[in-house]
């Protein structure tokens, strides 16, 4: 009975999250009409210098946010002598404007590229701010299709990338700033595991900074509904091998290093272990969904997403339904309001 009570409480929290997110388009329009321009403080963002000319706008807001003007994810800024690249302009045009206004306080160089690390609304809803400045928006794979079919419920002005990149791309921004100048290159690479074939990372070699998008949730319970747990585990292993000493700007949570990647993989390993235990014990899904958050992860934010993590683990690992068709079928059963998180 106590476990059932925990599961019901978790479900109520998750449904509350769905309701709040569903209200976001209407609230966003109202906010745009009545609210003053966003500031870092009002958006719940902190500007952090990660290396010379590389910055993160780091969100401290829990999920679900209480106000559509609060940023949920992190954004990135990379400055070179010939231009600027920005990553993930948040979930509203006002927050996207704030990202570009912040760039103007850091450099006189023009923004040349806007990169979406994946299709989810909290990272792409600010794309209209880029489009209004006639800036090219880059994304991977089926990102256009996914945004136009999955984000319309939460995004009142879906603006998908015009430039689709696959494989590895190198973008050049001139020289890096500072005394130890070198070429300011941004390497764009595709990885998989979080968002159905739209994930990519941005790496700045001369600064040794990695921007992961939602391939890393640091000190946050992740959103996994259209991801693949075992693919994401393999991706994290690859990232740790390829970037062993890097500074990491995650999609959500504070700036970290490879320790953050290790902890996130340990969280996924814990889910896998639970799911294999349910398989051995013949545990029902109802019983599995009553599992409490394991002690090491109770301090994490985004706790409202934990029940869905349990269900994803049960489907993909306990039942073995981890093929693309099964994952998409599961995603289709989820409330529309959370599909674009």
So what's the pLDDT on residue 120?
A: 96
CA angle 46, 49, 51 (to 5 degrees): 155
Please, which pLDDT band fits residue 34 given cuts at 50, 70 and 90? low
- Domain 2-338 belongs to what topology? Metallo-beta-lactamase; Chain A (3.60.15)
* For the chain, domain boundaries: 2-338
| Residue 4, token pair as written in the block | 């059932």
C-alpha 50/C-alpha 341 separation (Å) is 26
Confirm if 103 and 80 have CB atoms less than 8 A apart: no
So what's the pLDDT on residue 213?
A: 98
C-alpha 171/C-alpha 177 separation (Å) is 16
**Whole-structure pTM value:** 0.89
Model confidence pLDDT, tens digit, residues 119-155? 999 999 999 999 999 999 999 999 999 999 989 888 8
Q: Is residue 20 classed as helix, strand or coil in its secondary structure?
A: helix
So what's the pLDDT on residue 8?
A: 41
So what's the pLDDT on residue 338?
A: 58
User: Burial of 106 by CB count in 10 Å (0-12 exposed, 13-18 middle, 19+ buried)?
Assistant: middle
| Residue 56, token pair as written in the block | 């993160």
- Section 50-54 average pLDDT: 97
So what's the pLDDT on residue 337?
A: 53
């Amino acid at each position: 009975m106590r476990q059932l009570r925990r599961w019901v409480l978790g479900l109520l929290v998750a449904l509350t999250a769905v309701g709040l997110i569903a209200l976001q388009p209407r609230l966003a329009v109202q906010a745009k009409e009545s609210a003053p321009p966003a500031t870092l403080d009002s958006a719940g963002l902190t500007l952090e210098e990660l290396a010379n000319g590389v910055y993160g706008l780091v969100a401290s807001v829990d999920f679900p946010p209480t106000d559509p003007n609060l940023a949920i994810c992190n954004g990135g800024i990379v400055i070179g002598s010939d231009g600027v690249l920005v990553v993930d302009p948040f979930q509203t045009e006002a927050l996207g404007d704030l990202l570009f206004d912040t760039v103007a306080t850091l450099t006189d160089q023009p923004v040349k590229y806007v990169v979406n690390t994946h299709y989810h609304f909290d990272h792409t809803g600010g794309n209209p701010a880029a489009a209004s400045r006639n800036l090219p928006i880059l994304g991977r794979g089926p990102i256009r299709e996914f945004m136009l079919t999955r984000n319309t419920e939460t995004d009142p002005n879906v603006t998908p990338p015009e430039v689709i990149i696959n494989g590895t791309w190198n973008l050049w921004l001139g020289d890096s700033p500072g005394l130890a100048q070198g070429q300011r290159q941004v390497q764009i690479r595709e990885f998989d595991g979080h968002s159905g074939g739209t994930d990519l990372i941005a790496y700045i070699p001369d600064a040794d900074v990695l921007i992961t998008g939602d391939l890393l949730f640091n000190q946050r319970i992740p959103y996994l509904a259209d991801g693949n747990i075992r693919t994401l585990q393999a991706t994290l292993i690859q990232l740790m091998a390829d970037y062993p000493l890097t500074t990491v700007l995650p999609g959500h949570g504070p700036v970290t290093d490879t320790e953050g990647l290790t902890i996130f993989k340990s969280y996924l390993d814990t889910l896998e272990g639970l799911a294999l235990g349910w398989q051995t014990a013949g545990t029902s899904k109802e019983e599995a969904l009553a599992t409490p958050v394991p002690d090491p992860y109770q301090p994490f934010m985004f706790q409202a997403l934990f029940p869905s993590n349990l269900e994803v683990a049960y489907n993909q690992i306990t039942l073995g339904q981890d093929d693309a068709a099964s994952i998409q079928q599961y995603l289709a059963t989820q409330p529309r309001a959370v599909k674009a998180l």
